[in-house]
Amino acid sequence: MPAQELAQSGEPRGNAAAGRTVQSLERAFAILEAIAGSDQPLSLAELSRATGLHTSTAFHLIKTLIAARLHSSGGHETLPDRAAPVHAGGRRSTEIELVNLATPHLKRLADETGETAHLAVRADTGIAVIAKVEARSSIRTSERLGIIRPAHCTAIGKVLLADLPDDELEAYLRTGTFTAFTPKTITDPALIREEIKRIAATGTAYDDAEFSQELRCIAAPVRNYMRQTVAALGISSPVWRVTLRDMSRLSARVVAIAADLSRDLGFKAPAQKPRIARPTQQGALVRPLDPA
Q: What is the pLDDT of residues 180-206, one digit of tens each?
A: 999 999 999 999 999 999 999 999 999
pLDDT at residue 31, rounded to an integer: 81
pLDDT band at residue 64 under the 50/70/90 scheme:
confident
Q: How far apart are CA 233 and CA 32, in angstroms?
A: 29
pLDDT band at residue 33 under the 50/70/90 scheme:
confident
CATH assignment of the domain containing 201: 3.30.450.40
Range with the poorest average pLDDT among 40-49, 173-182, 198-207: 40-49
112 in the same domain as 158: yes
Looking at the DSSP bridge assignments, the partners of residue 206 are 218
- How far CA 9 is from CA of 20, 21, 25, in Å, comes to 15, 17, 19
Domain housing 108: 93-289
- pLDDT of 10 > 50? The answer is no
- How far CA 13 is from CA of 6, 17, 24, 153, 159, in Å, comes to 8, 5, 21, 55, 55
| Residue 49 included in any domain | yes
Residue finishing a domain among 83, 117, 137: 83
Residue type, 190: A
Residue finishing a domain among 83, 102, 125: 83
Higher pLDDT, 111 or 67: 111
Overall number of domains in the chain: 2
130 in the same domain as 8: no
pLDDT, tens digit, for every residue of 118-151?
999 988 778 989 888 987 754 455 566 767 889 9
pLDDT at residue 98, rounded to an integer: 84
